[in-house]
Amino acid sequence: MNKESSRKLLHRFRMAGIADGISFLVLLLVAMPLKYFFHFPEAVKVCGWIHGILFVGFLWFAFEVMGDFKKGLGWFAKAFAAAIIPLGTFVFDRQLKKEEAALSA
């Protein structure tokens, strides 16, 4: 894979991580309170499905990046941990942003 396509893959991975992180925060900070304080469980159902799809997409991109950039299984475990910890994908994005900048230079 050439440098430009690798950079694009990394950028898509970053965007998937940001989308996953936002959906996780919406699920935790909006949908869960709606369910438990206002007895509106449909919010969790809808946000949960959206977050689940974005979570799987994030892990799919992580697997692709791992193969393309020859990252180890430890890196994939770090990406997985970032996906299940609130705000983790935003912290993980800092490292990815540096890698993307290095590819652009």
| Domain definitions of the chain by residue range | 3-100
The answer, yes or no, to whether residue 3 has pLDDT greater than 90, is no
Which residue has tokens 């919406």? 26
The answer, yes or no, to whether residue 77 has pLDDT greater than 90, is yes
Greater confidence, 105 or 78? 78
DSSP string of 62-95, one letter each residue: HHHHHHHTT--HHHHHHHHHHHHSTTHHHHHHHH
- Residue 8 CB partners (closer than 8 Å, separation 6+): none
Model pLDDT for residues 12-48, shown as the tens digit of each residue: 999 999 999 999 999 999 999 999 999 999 999 999 9
DSSP string of 27-51, one letter each residue: IIIIIHHHHHHH--THHHHHHHHHH
Three-state DSSP at 2 gives: coil
Greater confidence, 102 or 54? 54
- Among 4-8, 21-25, 51-55, 94-98, which is the least confidently predicted range? 4-8
- How far is 36 from 54, CA to CA, in rounded Å? 24
Give the number of residues written for the chain: 105
The answer, yes or no, to whether residue 58 has pLDDT greater than 80, is yes
The answer, yes or no, to whether residue 70 has pLDDT greater than 90, is yes
pTM for the complete prediction?
A: 0.92
